[in-house]
Structure 1
Amino acid sequence: MPRRVFVHIGAPKTGSTFVQNMLFDNAGRLERIGIHLPVSFAAQDQAMTDLREVPWRDPQLYWTWERMLEKVRRCPGDVILTSEGFGGATTEQARRAVESLLPAEVHVVVAARDLWRTLPSMWQQSIRARSTWSFEEFLGRVETGRYEGFWEHYTANRMFFRWGDLVPAAQRHLITVPPPGAPHDLLWRRFAGVVGIPDGVCEETAPVANPSLGAPEIEVLRRVNGALGELYPHRMPYQRVVQHHLIKAVLQKRDNHVRFGVGLNRAEWVTELAEQQIKELRDYPCHIVGELDELRPTAMTDSRSPDELPEREILGAAIETIVGMIRHADHLQQQLPEEVPGVLTKLQNRAGRVKRGLKRRVMG
């Protein structure tokens, strides 16, 4: 059984992908100093969906929470579990997780980011998970208290309190996401300091691992989601097809230079929410890495909303996206071995002969 288990629960859009890439790209080096990642990131993510009993879990997935625990229990030293999905667990699900990791010393690690950046990031994340609501609809529902899921699943406070209350104060760790302009590796150094990774152990991973889409691109994707109907439901079918062939292969590779965000008409509202968030976290006994002041929005400039884009701009982005998908399909076709088309032709000819033979038998 490990001595300590660090459960990194999110929050989403707080640099988790960069931290996770650093961890798993350096898994061998970490193991040599007694810090273990017992299974792959994909396996941890699958175990998370089992722990949370989400309705969109693929029943064919191999990894469950209990199966992952078998690996965890065989690890000496320290263990890191990481998935931003962990933060969405209910209090009972979090309790089950923590109790199942005992008698190891369980630590809860969460990262927090300022709301001015979090709100547009989370809306984009929801669209990339097959949602269809507009940016204005999303903001309006959060603003009027009609979307509690934003606070429950995507911000540090509530998820941290649900998990943090299950462990002693010294084992609760809050990491603030550095503001724009900070050294790109500062978030990693903060995380590494919490889990005890010395400087120089890990080789650096490229910090930009999950690029955002621009306003026209995310609006095209939102409309595609609406047009899909029942095709490719969330989660695995959508990830396998739309994420792979549209988002990653085409949309992320565009310039994406037209950024979007919360308008200045909501600056006061966001500022008030940030002060409330800071106060709650300051009053909560925990180990803070960074500065709570970093959760106070800065550089609040006006920006375009995807809802406000002219139709011609969206149409232009859609046409260029179609061109990109044609090129992507052509590239995939060129990757096929030369003999594959011939094999397919032979199979089709053989199927035709079988069909004709059966027809002759029936008519004879």
Structure 2
Amino acid sequence: MASKIVLHIGLQKSGTTFLQHVLQESCEVLAEAGVRYPVLPDWDRGKRTVANHEWPSYGLLGTEYPWVSQRRAAAEKDSWQALLDEVKSWPGTVLLSAEALSVVRTAAVQRLLDALRSDDVEVVITARSLGRSLPSLWQQHIRNGRSTSFASYLGTLADQRAKGWEQIENDTDLHLWRAFCLNRLARRWSEAGATRVSVVTTPGRPPELLWRRFAQAAGLPDLAVLPGRQAHTGLTAAETLVLSSMNASIREGSWTGQNADWVRQVVTDRFQTRETRGRKVVIPLEWRDRLAEWSDEDLTALQDTSAHVIGDIDDLRYAPDLEQDSPPTTEEVGAAGAEATLALAELALQESFVQRNTRRVRRLLP
């Protein structure tokens, strides 16, 4: 049985994918140092791009996640058992990473800790300021096919927060604040029995600094060479607006989900290759004071918990005075729209070329 288990539970949009890439690519080096990062044989099925342990956790926690059906949970039971067997067979430290664990309620936290059957479970939370997390979450919202404005998205979050912490802790659908209120997240896991909870502040750049802070929190050895993995790059303000408008038009056209996903992927991949992309998404002016209040409230309460903060706690503080005030220009939006059009036009032309030549070959056949 593992002598110690380290659970990295996110948060979402805090560099988790970058860290998981590093852990996956370094799993052999880590194993030589006594730390097991399980990479299960079936990790690459579906749409995953990096090995993590979210899907196996569905086999244990199932519909505790609002997006997981009973059928999906049943399908992941073998994956969970395989992961548990890895934990049982390793004599040293086992490191598991699944950002979805940040949203689960107290009873599910207890169920997981009981299933792991370890007397030493440390929890590592990676976190960014709300001023950086919420724009990234809204971008993901748009990338998933929505067309909600950023202001409306923040309004929904404000309504959820206003429901009160008791309801947030118990309503599965209010999972965003269950994760992103750091002081309550830290308390939830420590009160359930975690032996130590660490909060790693995400500095942004360079990503190597995030890795060093994470390695310190997780008790990992220094890697001689950090794998050349780039941190994820989000969309700019102009690109997000273009994609949002595309989503609205796609919805009006009643496209299939598969075709809509394909178009969004083509466009977002093209956006990533642009040299001049415009300014980043920022908090709307009318929401900045509210976010500053939320941020100060949470960080004050976090310092009253037993959580260990690795890094500078001011990395987590939202500072409205540092925001850009100007929205994306008409030229930036137009350039992003043109790039999206070109990406789709090039694919259409390639397909037309193949179709034309196919017809020519068929005419030549006897």
Give the TM-score normalised by structure 1: 0.77
- State yes or no: 1:118 paired with 2:133: yes
Alpha-carbon distance, 1:124 to partner:
1.2
- State yes or no: 1:251 paired with 2:266: no
- Larger CA deviation: 76-85 vs 325-334: 325-334
Alpha-carbon distance, 1:183 to partner:
4.6
* Aligned position for 2:7: 7
- Larger CA deviation: 128-137 vs 23-32: 128-137
337, 340, 346: which one pairs with 1:321?
A: 340
Structure 1 residues 240, 225: closer, same or farther in 2, change over 3 A? closer
Alpha-carbon distance, 1:162 to partner:
2.7
161, 166, 187: which one pairs with 2:210?
A: 187
- Larger CA deviation: 135-144 vs 21-30: 135-144
* Residues in 2 aligned to 1:159 and 1:27: alpha-carbon distance in whole angstroms: 28
- State yes or no: 1:76 paired with 2:91: yes
What CA deviation, in whole Å up to 9, does each residue of 1:78-119 have, x standing for no partner? Answer: 111112222112222222111111135211110222222222
Alpha-carbon distance, 1:220 to partner:
2.1
What CA deviation, in whole Å up to 9, does each residue of 1:243-277 have, x standing for no partner? Answer: 64332x32322332232201344333222222111
* Residues in 1 aligned to 2:243 and 2:82: alpha-carbon distance in whole angstroms: 36
* Aligned position for 1:353: none
Structure 1 residues 107, 328: closer, same or farther in 2, change over 3 A? farther
Amino acid at match of 2:246: V
* Aligned position for 1:93: 108
Query: Is the 2:103–2:175 contact (alpha carbons within 8 Å) kept by the matching residues of 1?
Result: no
- Larger CA deviation: 152-161 vs 114-123: 152-161
* Residues in 1 aligned to 2:52 and 2:19: alpha-carbon distance in whole angstroms: 17
Mapping of residues 159-198 of structure 1, within 5 Å: 159-168=185-194, 170-178=195-203, 183-198=206-221
- State yes or no: 1:128 paired with 2:151: no
Alignment length (residue pairs): 332
* Residues in 2 aligned to 1:246 and 1:175: alpha-carbon distance in whole angstroms: 33
* Residues in 1 aligned to 2:260 and 2:270: alpha-carbon distance in whole angstroms: 14
Alpha-carbon distance, 1:68 to partner:
2.3
* Residues in 2 aligned to 1:102 and 1:190: alpha-carbon distance in whole angstroms: 27
Query: Is the 1:11–1:156 contact (alpha carbons within 8 Å) kept by the matching residues of 2?
Result: no
- Larger CA deviation: 42-51 vs 24-33: 42-51
- State yes or no: 1:212 paired with 2:234: yes
Alpha-carbon distance, 1:164 to partner:
2.9
* Aligned position for 1:359: none
Amino acid at match of 1:176: T
* Aligned position for 1:280: 301
Structure 1 residues 293, 319: closer, same or farther in 2, change over 3 A? closer
231, 253, 262: which one pairs with 2:283?
A: 262
* Aligned position for 1:44: 53
Query: Is the 1:4–1:105 contact (alpha carbons within 8 Å) kept by the matching residues of 2?
Result: yes
Alpha-carbon distance, 1:313 to partner:
5.7
Query: Is the 2:131–2:283 contact (alpha carbons within 8 Å) kept by the matching residues of 1?
Result: yes
Structure 1 residues 57, 242: closer, same or farther in 2, change over 3 A? farther
Alpha-carbon distance, 1:284 to partner:
0.9
Structure 1 residues 327, 27: closer, same or farther in 2, change over 3 A? farther
What CA deviation, in whole Å up to 9, does each residue of 1:132-173 have, x standing for no partner? Answer: 3110101222334468543124453333333332224x4111
* Residues in 1 aligned to 2:261 and 2:83: alpha-carbon distance in whole angstroms: 23
Amino acid at match of 2:233: P
Alpha-carbon distance, 1:231 to partner:
4.9
User: Over aligned residue pairs, what C-alpha RMSD do you find?
Assistant: 3.5
* Residues in 2 aligned to 1:29 and 1:244: alpha-carbon distance in whole angstroms: 34
* Aligned position for 2:322: 300
Alpha-carbon distance, 1:201 to partner:
4.1
Structure 1 residues 129, 97: closer, same or farther in 2, change over 3 A? farther
* Residues in 1 aligned to 2:182 and 2:231: alpha-carbon distance in whole angstroms: 22
* Residues in 2 aligned to 1:137 and 1:238: alpha-carbon distance in whole angstroms: 27
Query: Is the 2:20–2:51 contact (alpha carbons within 8 Å) kept by the matching residues of 1?
Result: no
Provide structure 2 residue ranges, at least 5 long, that are not aligned to the other structure. Answer: 44-49, 164-173
* Residues in 2 aligned to 1:320 and 1:294: alpha-carbon distance in whole angstroms: 34
Q: Which has the larger radius of gyration?
A: 1
* Residues in 1 aligned to 2:114 and 2:134: alpha-carbon distance in whole angstroms: 33
* Aligned position for 1:224: 246
What CA deviation, in whole Å up to 9, does each residue of 1:270-313 have, x standing for no partner? Answer: 2222211111110111222123233223452233457xx65x86
Mapping of residues 52-71 of structure 1, within 5 Å: 52-53=62-63, 54=65, 56-57=67-68, 64-71=79-86
What CA deviation, in whole Å up to 9, does each residue of 1:332-361 have, x standing for no partner? Answer: 999x9xxxx87xx88xx9xxxxxxxxxxxx
* Residues in 2 aligned to 1:117 and 1:74: alpha-carbon distance in whole angstroms: 40
* Residues in 2 aligned to 1:24 and 1:239: alpha-carbon distance in whole angstroms: 31
Alpha-carbon distance, 1:33 to partner:
1.0
* Residues in 1 aligned to 2:236 and 2:344: alpha-carbon distance in whole angstroms: 18
Structure 1 residues 305, 157: closer, same or farther in 2, change over 3 A? farther
Amino acid at match of 1:73: K
Query: Is the 1:108–1:173 contact (alpha carbons within 8 Å) kept by the matching residues of 2?
Result: yes
